[in-house]
Structures are given as C-alpha cells and as structure tokens.
Chains A and B, each alone.
Chain A
C-alpha cells in the first residue's frame, strides 16, 4: 500500500481526519524548507503538500504567489524541491509528500526524468494545477507505474458527468476546491461544500480532502466534519511571511498545532467510546 493509503487507513481506524498543510519549497528561504516539513509533522500534519515555485501561478492568490516570488529569488528549481524531499526522507519515511505546482517546470525537466527522480526522492503524489487529466494521460500512466498518485482537483463547477468519468481514475485522495476562485480567497460556504461532498461520495470511494479558503481552526473543524482531509495553505504561508526569521518554525508549529486540535475535536466522541469499550 502507498504511504498515502496507509495514512488514510490509520486515520480512519482512529476516527481522525487528515490535516494537510501546504508550504512553498524555498520560502522563506531554501534552508528552512526541510526544517519546516519536520515541524509540520511534529505539529500534527498527516500529509505535506509542498509547493513547487512557478513564475506565473495562474490559480493562486496573492499570498501563495508572493511565496513563490520569495522562493524564486533563490532560484529554487524543481530539482531543488525534489532534493528537499529526499533530505526529508532521510529521517521521515512515513509522512506522505505531495508536490503541488504547475506544468511548465515539469515540462522543462522532462516528464520521464521527473517520474524517475520523484520516485527516487520519495514523492508520493503529484498535483499539477494546470494539467487536467485530458492533457496528460501518458504522464499519469507513467506516474502510476512508479506508484506515485496523481491527485485530481474537483471544483464547484465540475459537472456530474465529468465527476463520474474522473471517479474511474482518481488515486490517493481527491482534492475538492471549496470555492470558485484562487487560493487564499475569503468566502467558503460550508453547507454548500458539505452538500457537494455528500454528492461526490456516491461516485468516489477514496478519501476526499477540501482546500481553498480554510484559514482558521473553526473553519478547519467545520470542514473536518464532512471531509476526510483538510488542506490549509495561504494561512500558513501568511504566518511564514509575517514571522521574523528566528520565529518562523515556532509560529508555524503553534498555528498547525492549533489547527490539529481543532480538527481533532471531530470524532472525539467515537474515540472515547472506543477506548471505554
């Protein structure tokens, strides 16, 4: 079983929901990334989403966009990001790492070469924002052969028929985009997302994560009531951005820890009941 599958299995057995923080590789500077990844795990992250910096992040809001710009000041490349994952793997062989980014850095490296390197470095999943399944069938197949999951996005605008088609090919977990907009946008309509997810469940049997627009413990908890995983990006990036260098690790730890406890309030009754039994 893949690391992603094992992670979700364990969580399900324990009546817990996954917390998936997003950070940008190389932000605030390259030397911090692996430290931050470990800190995320210490604070309770189940899966890490690692952003691959790109000069033209069309689907991201200003917060993540500026984190890419900070990383690109150091010329952080896809190759560098893969090496960061490899370094993280030296001391952590259990926490899944999903790379999130845009198609062009992968194009520049070459799809084949990327698949081989990603496998070598211990990448578990790949989410390419601007590469819908129709445009990269062959690549998805190559990734699959190396047991790397392609994480698909489903959005509020994805029609039923497309969801049904996608359901046949989803891997790892499905990432539901909670709103029409870019990352970091403010409004997420909880009851609408809850309804949508209920609908998705009739086609999709693998775990469903929800992201975009989750920026505090209360929202994270509310989402965890109906989702299998909660993805938090811009809020964490904003914390990194406003922290002094020596405070970054502590502040991110504190923030992620608070999200963790918020999410863990979901399912607590079941957990207590189980222990009593």
Chain B
C-alpha cells in the first residue's frame, strides 16, 4: 500500500530540511552509501540477517509494559512503556548499530567509527564491532567522558579505542565533527556509524529505517494486546532517533498524536538547555539543514542537559519537518522534572530509566492526569538508567 507520507525525496530533503551539506571529499562516499543502502534495503537476505540478529542478539521484540501502579498514582490516562531498555546494551541505539554494521560488512569496510554523547551509541557500536570482528574507534567529548566514565570503560572492554575530543564544547557535537574528520581522512576503508537521525543523507533516512522496528513492533503489539492503537506517542529527543523510530510507522494514522520531548535543562528562560526545536532557528550543521541552537551570527551555542544523550544543539531534519507541518508536537522538560520522573518510575514500577528517557516519562506524568483513564499513552522507554546512577546520586547530593 502506498504511504501518504513519503519523505525524504531522492536528494534526502524533508521539505526544506535535510540534504547533503558536506565537503567535496565525502560526496562520493555518501553517494556510495546511498546506492548500497538502497540495494540492501530491499535485499531479502540482508533483511533476514538483520531480523535474525535483532531476535537472537538484541532480544527483540521488546515488550510493551503497562505501568499500572504509576498510572493509578497519576490518576489519569494509562501509561504504556515500550521497553527499549531491555535490549542488549540497554538502549534503542543497538537497533541502528546492528543495521549499519551489517551494511559495513556487506560493503567490505573493516573499520567503523562512531561519535557518542552519553556513551550508549559508542557502547552499541563497540558491541557490534566485537560481534562482527571489526576495528572500532569512538570519538567522545572529553567532558562527556567524565560524565559517563563507566561507559568509556565498557567500550574499552569491548575492544574499542575511545578518542577524547578537546575542541569546542567537548561534547557530542564536537565528537561528531571529529568523527567526520576521521571519515574524510580514511574514507576508503572506514564506515561511519552515525548514532542518530542526523548527518547528511542517507543517514537520517537510514537510521530512521533501522529504528522503525520500535514502532512496527508497537503497532502489532498494541493491536494484539490492547485491541487498539495508543492515543499519543511520547519520546525524548536528542537527535530524535528513538522518537522517529516510534513515530514513523504511525505518521499516516491521523488519530494518533505524537509528542517529542526536548531537554529544557535548567529552564528555557535560562538559556541553559538543549531544546532545539523549541528555541532554535533553521541552519546548516553536520551535513544537513535543520533547526539549530545558534546565536545571531550563526555560531552554534553550547547546550546543557543533565542527560548527555540529549545534549545536542541540532535535531534530525525529519523532526524539523514534522514540527513545521504540525504532524508532531514538541515540548520541553527540565532537568529537575526528568529527575523527579526518574525517581517515580524507580519506586512505582521497579524500573530504572535512562535520564534521556526520563524526559519522556516526565512529560507523560504531566499529561496523564489531564486525560481520561481510558486514554493510552505509549512512552518510548529508550534506555535503562544504570549508566546514570552517578549523575543522579550527585544531583541528590549523595557520594558513594
């Protein structure tokens, strides 16, 4: 059946967003990636291998869990959690790294590189590199390496080289710059696994495609277990890969609303946040046109979020398009609100959520009480929070 929603176009444009804004040296590599991906996207063997890996290695399908106690406490709509935290390596990121690593293998590239913020994508990349026997180099802002020290160690255990990035704000955006520089230099033998729906075409489309397993499963599970689809989808927004993974299969379902939750940090009014769609302006960064947090001269501004995975001044171009066309709504949740939701879900449901995902949970906690008890909110629980317990302890004034 033909879909009504059909983006990006053949040049990777989502309306005025997306595209291929890179230096000439990378044009050919991206063209090669695009044609190879087009090929394997409809290749039955490739898709079968991908599905097999997701089942036996990642542990999919991830269940939908009804957070009954928490919903009852909140006293409104029912909150359902898509349990991406139960995936191998503890987040949705692996859905994408498996796909791209299989593609790298098919394309005969023995070396993979990745950027990482929270370290989840770095861990997921190091994991698949070990799994498929590839060399792996992960770029990580030195600031993030401090915040996510255990993930750095995890990557090293898995055999990856972690390269600290000391330029700019020493966070995710700088790691991305550095990975791009590596790729320009080693473009012949290297596959760059981008961790979110950002970067030049075909990345936003390709990463989306791999993450849509979340929404495709959800659709089946909802029908089977609840006899209907949710009223609202809620997901946190770093670059937006877990969000689009859930949203995309529902885009043509007009009675399902979708809400992306950005990091409002210390509060939008303080300027210390990472709420790109709420406060940014369209511009060009990291290979595509999208909303960016920037000053009036077009310089990218440092962002802030308690969760390293949301601390990014850009956002996937498809979300820019979904915002402009009003198909999805975007809201902000502060550090403190996210922390409160984190604690609630720990105590009410026995689940330690990632701080990233806690933003989505916090918005659900705001929205649920305003709705009838028969409404269903499906929240993407994009990852588990084990990696964050130091940050949470620190925020609550506890030292071990």
**CB pair B187 A157 closer than 8 Å:** yes
Q: Mark B333-364, 1 if CB is under 8 A from A, else 0.
A: 00000000000000000000000000000000
Q: How far is the CA of A113 from the CA of B120 in the complex (A)?
A: 42
How distant is B164 from chain A, measured CB to nearest CB, in Å? 13
Q: Which of A54-77 contact B (CB under 8 A)?
A: 54-59, 61-62, 65-66, 69, 72, 75, 77
Docked-complex contact B25 and A134, CB < 8 angstroms:
no
Residues in B with CB closer than 8 Å to A129 are 23
- A56, B298: Cβ atoms under 8 Å? no
Complex partner residue of B299 from A72, A130, A153, A159, CB under 8 angstroms: A72
Spot the interface stretch: B87-95, B245-253, B283-291: B283-291
Instruction: Tell me whether A107 and B283 are in contact (CB under 8 A).
Output: yes
Q: Is B11 an interface residue (CB 8 A)?
A: yes
A108-B287 in contact (CB<8A): no
- CB pair A180–B185 under 8 Å, yes or no, is yes
A132 touches B185 (CB 8 A): no
- Contact code string A102-142 (vs B, CB < 8 Å = 1, else 0): 11111111000000000000000000011110110000000
B62 nearest CB across to chain A (Å): 35
- B184 x A180 contact (CB < 8 A): yes
List the B residue with the shortest CB-CB distance to A132. B27
Closest to B296 in A: A108
Q: How far is the CA of A108 from the CA of B180 in the complex (A)?
A: 23
Q: With an 8 A cutoff between CB atoms, is B228 at the interface? A: no
- Is A156 an interface residue when CB atoms closer than 8 A count as contact? yes
Cβ contact of B283, chosen from A66, A75, A108, cutoff 8 A: A108
Number of residue pairs across A and B with beta carbons under 8 Å? 123
Q: Please, how many angstroms separate the alpha-carbon atoms of A180 and B183 in the complex?
A: 9
Chain A residues in 8 Å Cβ range of B180: 58-59
Question: With an 8 A cutoff between CB atoms, is A37 at the interface?
Answer: no
User: B22 contacts the other chain (Cβ, under 8 Å)?
Assistant: yes
B297 at the interface (CB under 8 A from A): yes
Which interface residue of B11, B29, B188, B283 has the most chain A CB atoms within 10 A? Answer: B283
Instruction: Specify which of A57, A69, A132 lies most central, judged by the most chain B CB atoms within 10 Å of its CB.
Output: A132
Given known A134-B11, A180-B184, A185-B185, contact A104–B283 (CB-CB < 8 A): yes
Chain A residue numbers with a CB within 8 Å of B289 are 107
> Chain B interface: which size bin?
35 or more
Q: With an 8 A cutoff between CB atoms, is B206 at the interface?
A: no
CB distance from A127 to the nearest CB of B (A): 11
Asked whether B294 is an interface residue with its Cβ less than 8 Å from the other chain, the reply is yes
Q: How far is the CB of B283 from chain A (nearest CB, A)?
A: 5
Q: Which of B24, B167, B299 contacts A54 (CB 8 A)?
A: B299
Quick check: B184 and A105 within 8 Å, CB to CB? no
Q: Contact check, B28 vs A159: say whether CB atoms are below 8 A apart.
A: yes
* Given A54-B299, A55-B299, A57-B177: A157 in contact with B25 (beta carbons within 8 A): yes
Interface contact A58-B23, CB-CB below 8 Å: yes
**B259 in the interface, Cβ–Cβ < 8 Å?**
no
Residue of A whose beta carbon sits closest to that of B166:
A62
- Whether A102 contacts B284 by the Cβ 8 Å rule is yes
A78 in the interface, Cβ–Cβ < 8 Å?
yes
Do A56 and B27 touch across chains, with their CB atoms under 8 A apart?
no
Closest to B186 in A: A180
Judge whether B23 and A78 touch: CB under 8 Å: no
Report the bound CA distance from A153 to B24 in whole Å: 6
Is A277 part of the binding interface, using a Cβ–Cβ cutoff of 8 Å?
Answer: no
Q: Which residues of B come within 8 Å of A, CB atoms?
A: 11, 19-29, 167-168, 173-174, 177, 180-181, 184-188, 281-287, 289, 292, 294, 296-300
27 sample A-B contacts, Cβ–Cβ < 8 Å, listed by A number: A54-B298, A55-B299, A56-B168, A56-B285, A56-B300, A58-B22, A58-B177, A59-B25, A69-B168, A104-B294, A104-B299, A107-B283, A132-B27, A153-B24, A153-B25, A155-B23, A157-B25, A157-B26, A157-B27, A157-B28, A158-B28, A162-B28, A180-B25, A180-B186, A180-B187, A180-B188, A181-B184
Lowest 9 CB-CB distances: which A-B pairs, in order? A108-B298, A77-B297, A105-B298, A153-B24, A103-B284, A155-B25, A181-B185, A59-B23, A104-B298
